[in-house]
């Protein structure tokens, strides 16, 4: 089964060895120079950093996104997650349903709304989220011990789920740990149910999470904002 088929069937796929270790180190050095101060979890709205914007349009990365979403694909949001012994956290089972939008428009199926660094966000319906793919570029080795991404396969096919349903599924489906070497990528659909635990070891787990869409007109009358 190809990685594209794996994404469509399971909601995620691991693509190892896309970038060299040296390439990841150069990216980290460039980001550190531009954004030495970070929040506890990392850097939100990281597409504004030139090295991140450049990585988001690297040939290898764009080819992955195009393979799922089509030729008009573009990056619209990036987040650098920086899990370390000094900044360690867990994430409960959830789906990624909030999208950054150019303006707030009240419409059925959209909301609740929030503002993040001046950008309006709304929780979106499944039809809009089906046009989105996240690529998680691993800047360090992700192991079973340093709080890797955990997913519940095939849950992206179930639509937007309630908290109660998320809990039920977490009891029923065996989770998969996405163990990925440095320079590898996890491609994932936003509706696949996922989580991560706290790191148990003294090593960083930094991930550049870039989200792509098939079109900026995600659903009439909504247009994605770049974040």
How high is the pLDDT of residue 198? 78
The stretches in the chain having pLDDT less than 70 are 36-41, 84-89
How high is the pLDDT of residue 36? 64
What is the C-alpha separation between 5 and 67, in angstroms, rounded?
10
Label residues 123-146 b or e (16+ Cβ within 10 Å = b). bbbbebbbbbbbbbbbbbbbbeeb
Instruction: State both tokens at 182.
Output: 């440095």
How high is the pLDDT of residue 187? 98
How high is the pLDDT of residue 55? 97
Q: Is the pTM of this model over 0.75?
A: yes
How high is the pLDDT of residue 38? 63
How high is the pLDDT of residue 88? 56
Q: Which CATH architecture has domain 3-100+110-213?
A: Sandwich (2.60)
Largest CA distance in the chain: 47
How high is the pLDDT of residue 86? 64
């Amino acid at each position: 089964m190809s990685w594209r088929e794996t994404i469509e069937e399971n909601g995620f796929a691991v693509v190892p060895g896309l970038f060299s270790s040296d390439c990841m180190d150069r990216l980290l050095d460039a980001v550190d120079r531009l954004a030495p101060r970070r929040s506890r979890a990392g850097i939100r709205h990281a597409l504004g950093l030139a090295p991140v914007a450049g990585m988001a349009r690297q040939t290898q990365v764009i080819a992955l996104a195009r393979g799922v979403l089509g030729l008009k694909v573009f990056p619209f949001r990036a987040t650098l997650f920086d899990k370390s012994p000094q900044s360690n956290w867990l994430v409960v089972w959830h789906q990624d349903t909030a999208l950054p939008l150019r303006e707030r428009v009240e419409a059925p199926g959209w909301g609740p709304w929030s503002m993040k660094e001046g950008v309006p966000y709304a929780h979106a319906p499944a039809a809009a989220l089906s046009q989105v793919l996240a690529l998680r570029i691993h800047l360090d080795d992700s192991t079973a011990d340093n709080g890797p991404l955990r997913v519940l396969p095939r849950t992206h096919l179930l639509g937007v789920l309630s908290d109660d349903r998320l809990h039920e599924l977490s009891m029923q489906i065996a989770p998969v740990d996405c163990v990925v070497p440095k320079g590898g990528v996890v491609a994932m659909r936003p509706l696949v149910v996922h989580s991560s635990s706290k790191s148990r070891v003294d090593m960083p787990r930094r991930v550049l999470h870039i989200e792509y869409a098939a079109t900026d007109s995600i659903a009439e009358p909504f247009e994605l904002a770049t974040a």
